[in-house]
């Protein structure tokens, strides 16, 4: 493939929170390199980032995810309007749930995160509109958690990257192109012709598998459907409530300021092929899922669905992202199935890898896109989908 353009040193494909963070960190450290950021829609953000309510719970049963979340929060708190440290509360409604919270409390403290077991009364005082204290047997408060404004952070990263010379291009990538030696030399687009690049990073979220159709190693990123709702507008409180999770019931709620939001994993997992955006068609079963979830909210709050949507995000078999060089595709890197909660830390980690810095070997192995080599792709997809209802349990993504 011939091109008269000077090849980019690095082409980041996908300008959601992950790709934009990558453009930002890469341009910070590589001022002489040509870096481009390509997305089929720079405005609006059509991927998952544009729809994430932005819960950030740093503690995770996976030490790798806890580390990435902590690194991420450290970064987000420096971005104007990027992060609100409202705290987060997990609630148990049974003895088993209370025992689990106790274990999470112990592990979070051991990891050095501020965590506190509080009484149901105290929890209800912190979020009176969202907690029925008579339901609660135990509550765990994470004071340094909060809510990220994913769109604000993404815009910040893009603007800063542009100011450092990153070129942002609107184009639909149709394939990765390799030279005669099998090394990547650019990407093909539907509208902007061939774009030459020495290194390509796929930060294409739920669409990541589409650009990797012919590799031997399974890349088990499974897009799933997920219901979320916004409630009616109300007068905003001076201090927003912490986010709330009912892990035993797979339900969570957030104070968005002028309205409340509610989401639930308490339904049969649904794999979803994404089209142009991360919003799928509404699934009628989700009406009941949200109705059940509303049962946890005090009736006097008057929370009813003003707007509902099916937002699509990625699951993987071990609930960890896939980040690193793609096996068998020299020069092609992946940064996918990354939550808002882990985006900045993950982007910084991948930058270090690309810059040849020494990185934590455990994280590198844990995130390696080649870690499923030799496994059966169909089984892996099944396992990834099955993890949806366990999202709050086994090293889940802690939405």
Ligand X SMILES: Cc1cc2nc3c(=O)[nH]c(=O)nc-3n(C[C@H](O)[C@H](O)[C@H](O)COP(=O)(O)OP(=O)(O)OC[C@H]3O[C@@H](n4cnc5c(N)ncnc54)[C@H](O)[C@@H]3O)c2cc1C
Residues that bind ligand X (CB under 6 A): 13-19, 38-41, 45-49, 51-55, 150, 172-173, 203-207, 211, 226, 228, 278, 311-313, 336, 338-341, 399
> Which residue number, 205 or 327, has a Cβ lying nearer to ligand X?
205
Cβ closest to ligand X, residue 13 vs residue 129: 13
Give min distance, CB of 74 to ligand X, in A.
Answer: 15
The nearest distance, CB 121 to ligand X, in angstroms, is 27
Q: How many other CB atoms sit within 10 Å of the CB of residue 353? A: 17
Contact 384, 315 (CB under 8 A): yes
| Nearest residue (CB) to ligand X, 120 versus 369 | 369
Kindly state the smallest distance separating residue 356's Cβ from ligand X, in Å. Answer: 24
* Minimum separation from the CB atom of position 115 to ligand X (A): 19
SS3 of residue 343 by DSSP: helix
**Least distance from C-beta 50 to ligand X, angstroms?**
7
Nearer CB in complex with ligand X: 120/280: 280
Task: Report in angstroms how near the CB of residue 108 gets to ligand X at its nearest.
Answer: 17
d(CA 104, CA 99) in angstroms, rounded, equals: 9
> HSE (CB half, 13 Å, CA atoms) of 204?
27
Between 167 and 172, CB nearer to ligand X: 172
> Strands 322-325 and 332-336, how do they pair?
antiparallel
Block residue for tokens 């639930």: 264
Cβ 143 to ligand X, closest distance in Å? 18
Buried residues in 33-62 as b, exposed as e (16+ CB within 10 A): ebbbbbbbebeebbbbbbbbbbbbbbbbbb
The nearest distance, CB 135 to ligand X, in angstroms, is 22
**Nearest to ligand X of 205, 220 (CB atom):** 205
Paired sense of beta strands 146-148 and 83-84, if any: antiparallel
CA distance 204 to 210: 9
- Using DSSP's 3-state secondary structure scheme, residue 313 falls into strand
Could you report how far apart the first and last alpha carbons of the chain are, in Å?
A: 43
Alpha helices in the chain (DSSP H): 17-29, 63-76, 95-110, 120-126, 150-163, 285-294, 343-354, 361-367, 377-386
DSSP 49-92: GGG---EE----SSHHHHHHHHHHHHHHTTSTTTEE---EEEEE
- For ligand X, give the closer residue by CB, 120 or 345: 345
Based on CB atoms, which residue is closest to ligand X, 244 or 336? 336
Closest to ligand X by CB, 122 or 210: 210
* C-alpha to C-alpha distance for 167 and 131, rounded to whole angstroms: 47
Q: How far is the CB of 119 from ligand X (least distance, A)?
A: 26
Q: At closest approach, how far in Å is the CB of 171 from ligand X? A: 7
Q: How far apart are CA 128 and CA 130, in angstroms?
A: 6
Question: Using omega within 30 degrees of 0 as the cis cutoff, is the peptide bond preceding 44 cis?
Answer: yes
Nearer to ligand X among residue 13 and residue 98 (C-beta): 13
CB nearer to ligand X: pick between 13 and 303: 13
Q: What is the DSSP string of 99-148?
A: HHHHHHHHHHHHTT---EEE-HHHHHHHSTTT--GGG-SEEEEETT-EEE
Report, in Å, the least distance between residue 364 CB and ligand X.
19
């Amino acid at each position: 493939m011939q091109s008269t353009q000077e090849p980019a040193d690095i082409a980041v494909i996908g300008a959601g929170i992950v790709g934009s963070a990558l453009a930002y960190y890469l341009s910070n450290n590589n001022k002489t390199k040509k870096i481009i950021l390509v997305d089929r829609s720079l405005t609006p953000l059509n991927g998952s980032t544009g729809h994430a309510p932005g819960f950030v719970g740093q503690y995770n049963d996976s030490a790798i995810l806890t580390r990435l979340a902590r690194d991420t929060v450290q970064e987000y708190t420096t971005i104007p309007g990027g992060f609100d440290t409202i705290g987060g509360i997990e609630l148990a409604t049974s003895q088993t749930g209370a025992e689990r919270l106790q274990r999470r409390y112990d592990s979070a403290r051991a990891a050095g995160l501020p965590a506190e077991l509080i009484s149901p009364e105290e929890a209800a005082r912190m979020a009176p509109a969202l907690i029925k204290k008579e339901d609660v047997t135990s509550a765990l408060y994470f004071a340094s958690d909060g809510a990220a404004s994913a769109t604000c952070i993404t815009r910040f990263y893009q603007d800063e990257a542009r100011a450092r010379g990153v070129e942002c291009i609107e184009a639909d990538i149709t394939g990765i192109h390799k030279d005669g030696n099998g090394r990547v030399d650019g990407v093909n687009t539907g509208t902007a012709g061939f774009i030459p690049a020495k290194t390509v990073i796929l930060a294409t979220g739920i669409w990541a598998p589409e650009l990797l159709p012919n590799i031997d190693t399974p890349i088990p990123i499974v897009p799933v459907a997920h219901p979320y709702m916004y409630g009616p507008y109300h007068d905003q409180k001076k201090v927003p409530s912490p986010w709330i999770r009912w892990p035993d019931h797979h339900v969570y709620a957030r104070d968005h300021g002028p309205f409340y939001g509610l989401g639930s994993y308490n339904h049969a997992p649904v794999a979803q092929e994404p089209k142009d955006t991360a919003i799928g068609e509404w699934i009628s079963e989700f009406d009941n899922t949200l109705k059940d979830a509303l049962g946890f909210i005090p009736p006097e709050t008057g929370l009813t669905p003003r707007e509902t949507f099916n937002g699509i995000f990625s699951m993987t078999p071990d609930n960890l992202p896939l980040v690193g060089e793609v096996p068998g595709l020299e020069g092609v890197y992946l940064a996918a199935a990354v939550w808002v909660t882990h985006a900045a830390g993950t982007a910084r980690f991948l930058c270090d890898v690309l810059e040849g810095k020494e990185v934590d070997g455990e994280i590198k192995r844990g995130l390696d896109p080649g870690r499923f080599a030799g496994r059966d792709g169909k089984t892996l997809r099944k396992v990834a989908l099955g993890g949806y209802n366990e999202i709050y349990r086994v090293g889940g993504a802690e939405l």
